[in-house]
Amino acid sequence: CSEPFSRLAVNKVVPKFGRLKTWTRSYIDLDQNRLSQPVLIGFIEFKGFEGGLIHKLGPSWKNPKIGSKVSAVFVSKKQRHKNILDIKYFDRPSSP
């Protein structure tokens, strides 16, 4: 949000599918340690929304294509905390 800790004025439902706007491969974790396996990070846009989400891409991606359709893969309902980490990663959609 543009103003930290401001109250949301409108709630909107995010579409089931998004599009990969750009991506990168990271060899360093958040603590600046070298990873044994790189992770793919993507910027996901959703129709009808300004901006998007930055999040991990799933293990099925080797060389993602910009513009690819993606969908969120969630942790189990018991593991959810109502935050961005409820999404494990974004992957290729299993349905059209």
Which pLDDT tens digit goes with each residue over 9-59?
Answer: 788 888 989 999 999 999 999 999 999 999 999 999 999 999 999 999 998
- Top pLDDT among 4 and 65 is at 65
Question: Where would I find the H helices in the chain?
Answer: none
d(CA 62, CA 40): 9
The predicted model gives 61-85 an average pLDDT of: 93
Q: Are 57 and 69 in contact (CB under 8 A)?
A: no
What's the pLDDT band for 95 if we cut at 50, 70, 90? Answer: low
pTM of the model: 0.82
**Partner residues linked to 89 by β-bridges:** 73
In what order do the strands lie in the sheet containing 52-56? 52-56, 34-45, 17-28, 69-74, 87-91
Closest CA relative to residue 90, chosen from 68, 8, 77? 68
